Amino acid sequence: MQLGVIGLGTMGANLARNAARNGARVVLFNRTTEKTKEFLENFSAEGEFVATESLREFVSEMKAPRAILLMVKAGDAVDAVMEELLPMLEKGDIIIDAGNSHYRDTERREVRLKKMGIHFVGMGVSGGEEGALLGPSMMPGGDPEALKKLMPLLMKMSASDGAKGKCVTYIGPGGAGHFVKMVHNGIEYGIMQLIAEAYDLLKTVGKMKNEDLAKLFADWSKSDDLGSFLMEITAQIFTVKDPASKKYLIDLIADVAGQKGTGKWTTETAMDLGIAIPTINAAVDARILSGETEHRARRMKELPESLPKNAKLPAAALTSMVRSALELSIICTYAQGFELMAKMSSEKKWNFDLSEVARIWRGGCIIRSKFLTMLQPAQDDNAAAKKAIIKRMDGKSQREWRELVALAFSCGVPIPALSASLWFYDTVRRERLPQNLIQAQRDFFGAHTYQRVDKPGAFHTEWSR
């Protein structure tokens, strides 16, 4: 087995180490040769690495057909590397873009390379720094014949799904792999925002200390309803102190969340397809608004402060309400992401196996959770699994979800994702929505016509007469 790796940043370096640990001869290239030297100084004992100082040397060190993994910044950087690389390649060679590229860019690149006889694979990789090294979730898409050649190595490199399988599967043609990774990241945005809102409520309304939050989230991370990687790391975050000040680090971090584009792409794609993903949209908006620091500072001085700041509620009651709201909102977030994937699969005729997608997210990836063990069979129309999920939305949990949203509003604590999730739930289960009035308004001022519930056809009324 051989693999060429271009780009030795954190993710690229760890994927290279992962491949070498699993028996591959790994040829390395990085624009900054100093980074390649540093890599070898630290990791040369982990496997067979070949360092190169130019792309020509890099290509010559591999036998055809070559498999070359790009881990460079999405966008123009990918095209720039390919432009330099392509004249040196031969028919049958494979380029794997393992970065967070937009699926449309992947489609464009695949069409171009196919004419040259070169395979292009767009592969989503989730798991962060640790996952890339120890076993990520991999979402490859593109030419299935090329994937057959790559799959033996990818199987070894990927994480376990916890059920004797590996967290890698062929997603579909064209940009399918990068599309599924994009939706994965959208779900990730949603869940992270939900956890942040839960933290805010517990700290602001419940007056919980970081020590208490660490214990609570650690308990939740071991539970069947909330157990997940994101819960685990959240619990750990609350325990870390700044070495210099000895204060909890979480209290010293600026409340500005960054983003690299995949969340925005998810919301744009959903709007194009006509699929509602309000929890994910709210999470993207929340990150944007967090970055508008000057606007927030100005409005904080201008606008009246929120009414009652303190809620008279026992700590145990608040904790239970937050847990229920968090659990059910996370279920809604997954539902929105899977509905978006189903719609795109139908539009593009990608034929996604959404059960397989759920399976490969059970290990290695950022959004791995115990809930996926229930969601996976539900994607195969398993009646028992579907019934179990629906049952979780009923009774005390739903009541507490509603109570928490009302409480947050009354205390002036912003919960865009938790409330959007409840709005989503109430909308999809409602027999009749008020959009009949909107359609009447559209027909009034624009003659857009409307449909009726009692007979077929399109109708227009001269309302002002």
188 part of the active site: yes
Place of tokens 């900054």: 32
Name which of 72, 60, 20 is nearest 42 in CA terms: 20
Annotated catalytic residue: which of 181, 197, 203, 370?
181
Tell me if residue 380 falls in helix, strand or coil.
coil
H/E stretch holding 357 reads helix 354-360
The DSSP string of 282-313 is HHHHHHHHHH-HHHHHHHHHHSPPPS------
H/E stretch holding 423 reads helix 416-429
Task: Spell out a b/e string for 144-165, using b for 16 or more CB atoms within 10 Å of the CB, else e.
Answer: eebbebbbebbebbbbebeeeb
DSSP H helices, 158-261, are 176-204, 210-221, 229-237
DSSP H helices, 51-175, are 55-60, 76-85, 103-115, 128-134, 144-157
181 part of the active site: yes
Residue 366 has what DSSP assignment? Answer: T
CB atoms inside a 10 Å sphere around CB 218: 16
CA distance linking residue 351 with residue 449, whole number of Å: 35
Name which of 317, 371, 77 is nearest 202 in CA terms: 317
CA distance linking residue 424 with residue 204, whole number of Å: 26
CA distance linking residue 369 with residue 224, whole number of Å: 9
Counted residue by residue, the chain has a size of 465
Annotated catalytic residue: which of 107, 110, 188, 339?
188
Catalytic residues: 181, 188
